[in-house]
């Protein structure tokens, strides 16, 4: 099983950097938006105006609908609802990374992909890093919040499998047109749980900062992040691509330190080292890891 080339590795790194910093943005935006209203707007702007410039990919409508429901509703609708007072942003950024294990497990079960001993050890090492962080989390959370984020993680992994089923589809167009199917159910949830007056009030009182937070969600996370992630998953086994998402909490911690002034004690640095070490063990070619046989990342 081959590792990512350095170009593909840089793309994966850019995606997880955007996703990691995103939790601080979500926290700020949810101070203005009700969660489902926020999700509606995110996927509305992910669909328009991009749909005018990107032709619908020639894949079955059911694939687009499944992906739109899983990512739009199952992942982000549920995640926003959980982060709206039910779980802290830092803990959410950690728990949602269980999608790595869901994705690899689904790939092994449904696709017959193999997990090497080295990759298994890498996942254990990276999971230990997340475990260290979880042991030191002191933010208040709820059992419901934890369950909701696990549901979001499972939805993310299922969405990965749906997109990988049509590797020939242009990733960006796939994400854009799938967003069409995210908006209606999210709109129903917003109307039922939040009500039209709250939705209108949130939209009509948006400031430039709130607009920036929303567009960061639509363009940065949805269009760039998920299109690039799907492009990588279409070209590499899930066991090679998915562990990169373990870096999301590392970027989340860094963004929190820089933007919110949160400290980085020794245990956080140790946890980051474990995650990065597991990532290196999983992604570097065996020739690089063996001292007796030098090699380069291809």
Note whether 155 and 106 are within 8 A (CB): no
Read off the pLDDT of each residue in 44-51 and give the average, rounded to a whole number.
Answer: 92
177: burial class by Cβ within 10 Å (0-12, 13-18, 19+)?
buried
Predicted local distance difference test score (pLDDT) of residue 199: 95
Residue 285's pLDDT band, with cuts at 50, 70 and 90, is low
The residue behind tokens 């245990």 is 267
Written as six digits, the tokens of 95 are 């728990």
Written as six digits, the tokens of 151 are 């549901």
Q: Summarize pLDDT for 198-229 with one digit per residue, the tens.
A: 999 999 999 999 999 999 988 888 888 878 88
What's the Cα-to-Cα distance from 1 to each of 95, 129, 209, 211, 296, rounded to whole Å?
Answer: 27, 24, 44, 43, 16
Centre a 10 Å sphere on the Cβ of residue 261 and count the other Cβ atoms it contains. Answer: 7
63 vs 86: CA distance, rounded Å: 31
125 vs 273: CA distance, rounded Å: 10
- pTM for the full predicted model: 0.79
Range name among 48-62, 156-170, 184-198, 234-248 with the lowest pLDDT average = 234-248
Residue 298's pLDDT band, with cuts at 50, 70 and 90, is very low
Read off the pLDDT of each residue in 38-58 and give the average, rounded to a whole number.
Answer: 92
Write the DSSP assignment of 151-207 as a string of letters: HHHHHHHHHHHHHHT-TTS-HHHHHHHHHTTTHHHHHHHHHHHT-HHHHHHHHHT--
For 5, the 3-state DSSP assignment is: coil
119 vs 102: CA distance, rounded Å: 15
Q: Summarize pLDDT for 78-97 with one digit per residue, the tens.
A: 999 998 888 877 778 877 87
**Sign of the torsion formed by the C-alpha atoms of 9, 13, 19 and 20:** positive
Predicted local distance difference test score (pLDDT) of residue 150: 85
Predicted local distance difference test score (pLDDT) of residue 185: 97
Q: What are phi and psi of 109, to 5 degrees?
A: -70, -45
For 124, the 3-state DSSP assignment is: helix
56 vs 94: CA distance, rounded Å: 34
Q: Summarize pLDDT for 102-112 with one digit per residue, the tens.
A: 777 777 777 77
Read off the pLDDT of each residue in 246-264 and give the average, rounded to a whole number.
Answer: 76
246 vs 278: CA distance, rounded Å: 9
218 vs 211: CA distance, rounded Å: 10
Domain residue ranges in the chain: 6-286
What is the Cβ-side half-sphere exposure of residue 199, based on CA atoms within 13 angstroms? 17
Rg over alpha carbons for the chain, rounded to the nearest Å, is 19
């Amino acid at each position: 099983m081959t590792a990512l080339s350095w170009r593909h590795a840089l793309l994966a790194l850019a995606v997880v950097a955007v996703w990691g910093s995103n939790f601080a943005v979500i926290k700020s935006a949810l101070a203005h938006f009700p969660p489902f209203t926020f999700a509606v707007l995110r996927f509305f702007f992910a669909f328009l105006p991009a749909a005018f410039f990107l032709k619908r990919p020639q894949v079955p409508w059911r694939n687009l609908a499944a992906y739109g429901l899983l990512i739009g509703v199952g992942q982000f609708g549920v995640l926003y609802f959980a982060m709206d007072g039910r779980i802290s942003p830092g803990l959410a950024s950690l728990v949602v990374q269980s999608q790595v294990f869901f994705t690899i497990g689904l790939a092994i079960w449904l696709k017959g992909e193999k997990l090497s001993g080295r990759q298994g050890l890498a996942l254990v090492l990276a999971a230990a890093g997340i475990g260290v962080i979880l042991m030191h989390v002191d933010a208040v959370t709820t059992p419901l919040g934890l369950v909701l984020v696990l549901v979001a993680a499972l939805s993310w992994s299922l969405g990965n499998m749906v997109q990988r089923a049509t590797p020939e589809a242009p990733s960006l167009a796939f994400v854009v047109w799938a967003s069409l199917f995210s908006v209606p159910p999210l709109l129903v949830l917003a109307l039922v749980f939040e009500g039209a007056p709250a939705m209108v009030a949130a939209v009509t009182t948006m400031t430039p900062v709130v607009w920036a937070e929303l567009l960061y969600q639509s363009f940065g996370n949805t269009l760039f992040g998920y299109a690039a992630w799907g492009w990588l998953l279409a070209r590499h086994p899930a066991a090679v691509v998915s562990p990169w998402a373990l870096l999301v909490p590392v970027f989340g911690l860094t963004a929190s330190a820089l933007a919110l002034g949160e400290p980085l004690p020794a245990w956080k640095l140790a946890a980051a080292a474990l995650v990065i070490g597991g990532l290196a063990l999983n992604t570097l070619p065996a020739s690089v890891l063996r001292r007796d046989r030098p090699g380069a990342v291809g």
